Structure 1
Amino acid sequence: MPDSALPDMASYRFGLRLTERGCVLGVGDGIAWIKGLPSAQMDEVLHFDDGSSGLVFQLGSDRLGAILLSQTHGLTAGMEVRRTGRRIEIGVGDALLGRVVDPMGAPLDGLPAPQAREMRPLETEAPTILERDYVSQPLYTGNKIVDTLIPIGKGQRQLIIGDDGVGKSALALDVVLNQRGRGVFCVVVLIGQTRTSVAATVETLRAGGALDYSVVVVAEANALPGFRYLAPFAGCAIAEHWMRTGRDALAVYDDLTRHAQSYRELSLLLQRPPGREAYPSDIFYLHSRLLERSAALAAGSGGGSMTALPIVETRLGEIAAYIPTNLISITDGQIYFDSHLFAAGVLPAIDIGRSVSRIGGKAQDAAIKQAAARIRLDYLQFLELELFARFGTRLEAGVEEKLRRGRLLRELLKQDRLAPLPEQAHLAWLLAYGEDLLDRFAPEQAAARLPPLFAAVAARGLRIDAPREDWLAALRDALWEAA
């Protein structure tokens, strides 16, 4: 044995050492009941004699409940349990970029374990009011509707809500792909998804070059319920490290409906009193303490930011369900996906009337904000007029003109998935629409002319803050050449 591995005998002191040892009463469904360990604390890591580990999750007068973090086949009743005196931590830092890990930081991509230089607790206190700053910098998603009508700022918490299979995850992936070259580190948390879905998401990120600045935290559907519960906190801790070091981070939680269900499962197994829809009474606090950790920090606190995009699922469009309403009240706005729009082929199927951003307008670039000032109102008026026009009544010329412009706008707002656009492209189509440069085309023809229009603007190298006259001249020339 090398000398460096020998214990330091000079520092050894002989004395009486007292340690607590508990005993496993029962094991099942990812839960272990333990007798003893009177000094154990909530969220303390426990070690079992067979090598399994657990996390204290329930304190009782005569026993405690622990959620299992790892379990061997030898874990049975009667086995001894020891305290560790430490809380659960995960490795953080740039070493995790490009990796797929579980909530404990173990690799899932077949590569060696990340050599993280720093550990961070999964749960920490949210930044105080004095540490926070105003949300003033835009976080561009690459989506026409979001970046112009429902803008998001760095440090904001924006909920993505809608039924299953309407494009919520696709929008979140678009946001991640659009951060390439923008200095934003992304953490994608996949909760309770099948291995096929996880593999497809990872491959999409790899194909788009997004894994270079991203970390994927996975708790699969067949994982222990404790893993699904810890997954978003692990992803938050990873993103929080970059925020605390003065950099920008983005955390996507896909999705918090499964997270809430996992927490309900654990709570019922631990015999906690059920509340509405059998969820425990602290379900609101569960998500608030997670999402409140997202913020834009003041310069004195490092100046970093962490933006959160939690995803929640509705059933039959019921936005007033228990978990969705909880998350709506916690977040700074929501992007609502409508299944009827999806079925009608209006993609992305974002319901502009029900979607809102309570902060993002203050973080929007002045040029885009000015160009998009009346578009939201005009589009909502168009939807009302279109509904009225279905009755077959004769319409005035002014109403017909509004309907024509509304149909044109609806076609312009359509966008394919995994095709995010830069902010210059947003300003280009906004000005082209607002200055009536596309009115001579049919709606479908106008939408088809946008890609060459974007290419022409990019070739000229126009900046977002260039004079409006320069933009209009470039747009007219591009449309004339295309014609």
Structure 2
Amino acid sequence: MPVDTPDWLASAQRAVRSAALGPRSEHRGRVEEIGDGVAMISGLRDVRLDEVLRFEGGQFGFARVLDPDLIGCVFIDAATKVESGDAVFGTGEVVSVPVGDALLGRIVDPLGRPLDGKAAIEVEERWPIERPAPSIIERDLVTEPVQTGILVMDTLFALGRGQRELIVGDHSTGKTTLATDAMIAQRDSDMICVYVAVGQKTSSVRRAVDALQAHGNFARCIVMVAGSASAPGLQWIAPYAGVTMAEYFRDRGGHALVVIDDLSKHAATHREIALLTRQSPGREAYPGDVFYIHARLLERAAKLSQERGGGSLTALPIAETDAGNLSAYIPTNLISITDGQIVLDTDLFHQGQKPAVDVGLSVSRVGGKTQAPVLREAAGTLRLDYAQFLELEVFTRFGGMPEGRVREQLKRGERIRAILRQPQNAPLRLADEVALLLAVQSGLLDPLSLDAVAAFRDKLPENLDRDAADAMRAISETGELDQEARAALMAAMNRLATQLGDAEPAT
């Protein structure tokens, strides 16, 4: 009488019969040296650059240096249990990250693993972190504006979709705040925002996330964090991973804004890894390819041609200077790569001029081509007037009473400086910026005290929505300002100015 075979045994027998028997090759190496998040490995001759390597204890790293005898591997996980002599296996795959809509509204690490305590992220695609930049023939002219809501940027240093604008300044001068405000201003736009924190303190990242959640549209943002306590490998791949996530939206005809905070710390991480893997040091102990690693990263920001979908990727990299030294190695490298720079000044910051933008050293090499026409028309000679005021102000410090015309220039310049001050996390609408420029250029603010000018700026949006709603709607919908809308704006601002001081109505 036959005996019934148990289910588990039948299943095991089927697995054995279906198993592929025969020789199998695997890429296997050996850890020769290890320390400070870097391992030197022998025996893996077929490994390619940036290939993911698996250690026998389950840890992972990626090949960063390919020498004839040794492979320099950088850990992307804790390497506390890896020892000399351990086996290492090549996976045949390069470092990749998940991409897609599922990442929106999430806080992740550079490998796409969630850091916000929510469920795991389910995506259908993974893209390599290193991708070629669009060729010249695939690019289009940078002509569409990015409205940052920051008056000094939108007016004097316009940012365009597809541009790379460096934000540079000393420690604690408002660099992250400036970039965060630009992201908050996209809450009503069609741009996806990606914030990449490299080597930042947890408290700094927390403030940026809180600002985006409280004032922006966080559901259209991705926050990637590789903090100061993260493995050097995670900090190194973070900017590339963030740009790859943004490229997913660009390549589908969308628009994305990437903030990298900051590349100075990324360069320091690259120097640390290079020295540990015995690469030859150069200026300031940085390896010779420190320019190239940032150039190939920022070149991926572009406005694509209509044949490629017309999408755009705009980059706002951040760099930190020491005592305002813009001629240091990393800042000069980044200035030469990008399409302009916003320089923040420590003295202006401590004087209360926030954002503390140095209008003399800052520049946008794309310029007025990306500025909204109505804003460019309203600005007029604002930049020239403000530059002349700053020079005159220096001379008046030596004493003496300026003559009438100079006195009027000084008064107008002080009002321009007052409207360029802007509170944190409060980006302006395009129509508000146009109205402020019309007010200062027409002389409406000249009779007001500086305190009254600040009150005028704060109360202006609410008053315009009430007294000049049609004009505000026309500017936001058409981007144009006709005579009727201009007259309505001036009438509403005249009434507000009259309430704040005995100002003569302007025409």
TM-score normalised by the chain length of structure 1: 0.96
CA 1:394 to 1:8, structure 2 compared with 1: closer, same or farther past 3 Å?
farther
Bigger mean CA deviation after superposition, 77-86 or 16-25: 16-25
Query: Is the 8 Å Cα contact of residues 444 and 494 (structure 2) preserved in structure 1?
Result: no
Q: Tell me the distance in 2 between the aligned counterparts of 1:423 and 1:209.
A: 17
C-alpha displacement of 1:438: 2.1
Query: Structure 2 stretches of 5 or more lacking a match?
Result: 1-7, 500-507
2:31 aligned partner: 24
Q: Tell me the distance in 1 between the aligned counterparts of 2:215 and 2:495.
A: 31
Q: Tell me the distance in 1 between the aligned counterparts of 2:129 and 2:480.
A: 44
Bigger mean CA deviation after superposition, 454-463 or 237-246: 454-463
1:274 aligned partner: 281
Secondary structure of residue in 2 paired with 1:179:
helix
C-alpha displacement of 1:365: 1.1
Secondary structure of residue in 2 paired with 1:180:
helix
* 1:352 aligned onto 2:359: yes
RMSD (Å), alpha carbons: 1.8
CA 1:74 to 1:391, structure 2 compared with 1: closer, same or farther past 3 Å?
closer
Q: Any idea what the Cα deviations from partners look like across 1:230-258, whole Å, max 9, x if unmatched?
A: 11111011001110111000000000000
Q: Tell me the distance in 2 between the aligned counterparts of 1:328 and 1:277.
A: 18
Query: Is the 8 Å Cα contact of residues 50 and 72 (structure 1) preserved in structure 2?
Result: no
Q: Tell me the distance in 2 between the aligned counterparts of 1:229 and 1:96.
A: 20
Moved over 6 A (4+): 6-10
Match of 1:185 among 189, 192, 197: 192
- After TM superposition, list the pairs within 5 Å mapping 1:85-104 onto structure 2: 85-104=92-111
Counterpart amino acid of residue 198 in structure 1: V
C-alpha displacement of 1:480: 3.8
Q: Tell me the distance in 2 between the aligned counterparts of 1:396 and 1:13.
A: 95
2:297 aligned partner: 290
CA 1:39 to 1:467, structure 2 compared with 1: closer, same or farther past 3 Å?
closer
C-alpha displacement of 1:20: 2.3
Q: Tell me the distance in 2 between the aligned counterparts of 1:149 and 1:468.
A: 23
* 1:473 aligned onto 2:487: yes
C-alpha displacement of 1:468: 3.5
C-alpha displacement of 1:322: 0.5
Secondary structure of residue in 2 paired with 1:416:
coil
* 1:116 aligned onto 2:123: yes
Secondary structure of residue in 2 paired with 1:173:
helix
Counterpart amino acid of residue 402 in structure 2: L
Query: Is the 8 Å Cα contact of residues 141 and 420 (structure 1) preserved in structure 2?
Result: yes
* 1:327 aligned onto 2:341: no
Bigger mean CA deviation after superposition, 444-453 or 429-438: 444-453
- After TM superposition, list the pairs within 5 Å mapping 1:453-464 onto structure 2: 453-459=460-466, 460-461=469-470, 462=472, 463-464=474-475
Q: Any idea what the Cα deviations from partners look like across 1:104-155, whole Å, max 9, x if unmatched?
A: 1111111122111211110100000011000111001110100111110011
C-alpha displacement of 1:13: 6.4
2:69 aligned partner: 62
C-alpha displacement of 1:8: 12
* 1:223 aligned onto 2:230: yes
- Matched positions, count: 480
Counterpart amino acid of residue 474 in structure 1: A
* 1:257 aligned onto 2:264: yes
Which of the two has higher C-alpha Rg?
Answer: 2
Query: Is the 8 Å Cα contact of residues 373 and 480 (structure 2) preserved in structure 1?
Result: no
Query: Is the 8 Å Cα contact of residues 193 and 220 (structure 1) preserved in structure 2?
Result: yes
Query: Is the 8 Å Cα contact of residues 46 and 54 (structure 1) preserved in structure 2?
Result: yes
Q: Tell me the distance in 2 between the aligned counterparts of 1:192 and 1:139.
A: 27
Query: Is the 8 Å Cα contact of residues 432 and 475 (structure 1) preserved in structure 2?
Result: no
Q: Any idea what the Cα deviations from partners look like across 1:205-231, whole Å, max 9, x if unmatched?
A: 111243211011101111111111111
Match of 1:212 among 206, 209, 219: 219
Q: Tell me the distance in 1 between the aligned counterparts of 2:434 and 2:15.
A: 66
1:302 aligned partner: 309
Match of 1:440 among 437, 447, 464: 447
Counterpart amino acid of residue 279 in structure 1: Y
Secondary structure of residue in 2 paired with 1:427:
helix
Query: Is the 8 Å Cα contact of residues 314 and 324 (structure 1) preserved in structure 2?
Result: yes
Query: Is the 8 Å Cα contact of residues 98 and 112 (structure 2) preserved in structure 1?
Result: yes
Q: Any idea what the Cα deviations from partners look like across 1:406-461, whole Å, max 9, x if unmatched?
A: 11111111111111111111100111111222223223212311233322333414
Q: Tell me the distance in 1 between the aligned counterparts of 2:275 and 2:109.
A: 24
Secondary structure of residue in 2 paired with 1:86:
strand
Q: Any idea what the Cα deviations from partners look like across 1:369-424, whole Å, max 9, x if unmatched?
A: 12213111110100100111111134221111111111111111111111111111
Secondary structure of residue in 2 paired with 1:368:
helix
Q: Tell me the distance in 2 between the aligned counterparts of 1:470 and 1:437.
A: 18
Q: Tell me the distance in 2 between the aligned counterparts of 1:211 and 1:205.
A: 6
Q: Tell me the distance in 2 between the aligned counterparts of 1:481 and 1:166.
A: 36
* 1:246 aligned onto 2:260: no
Match of 1:235 among 238, 242, 263: 242
* 1:317 aligned onto 2:324: yes
Bigger mean CA deviation after superposition, 461-470 or 180-189: 461-470
Query: Is the 8 Å Cα contact of residues 138 and 360 (structure 1) preserved in structure 2?
Result: no
Counterpart amino acid of residue 348 in structure 2: L
C-alpha displacement of 1:348: 1.2
Secondary structure of residue in 1 paired with 2:138:
coil
C-alpha displacement of 1:199: 2.0
C-alpha displacement of 1:475: 2.6
Query: Is the 8 Å Cα contact of residues 51 and 72 (structure 1) preserved in structure 2?
Result: no
Query: Is the 8 Å Cα contact of residues 131 and 297 (structure 1) preserved in structure 2?
Result: yes
Secondary structure of residue in 2 paired with 1:23:
strand
2:435 aligned partner: 428
Q: Tell me the distance in 2 between the aligned counterparts of 1:67 and 1:128.
A: 30
Q: Tell me the distance in 2 between the aligned counterparts of 1:386 and 1:262.
A: 43
Query: Is the 8 Å Cα contact of residues 144 and 421 (structure 1) preserved in structure 2?
Result: yes
Query: Is the 8 Å Cα contact of residues 428 and 471 (structure 1) preserved in structure 2?
Result: no
Match of 2:412 among 389, 393, 405: 405
2:133 aligned partner: 126
Secondary structure of residue in 1 paired with 2:304:
coil
Query: Is the 8 Å Cα contact of residues 57 and 67 (structure 1) preserved in structure 2?
Result: yes
Counterpart amino acid of residue 485 in structure 2: W
CA 1:318 to 1:326, structure 2 compared with 1: closer, same or farther past 3 Å?
same
Secondary structure of residue in 2 paired with 1:309:
strand
Q: Tell me the distance in 2 between the aligned counterparts of 1:302 and 1:54.
A: 35
Q: Any idea what the Cα deviations from partners look like across 1:151-190, whole Å, max 9, x if unmatched?
A: 1001100000000101110011101111002011010000
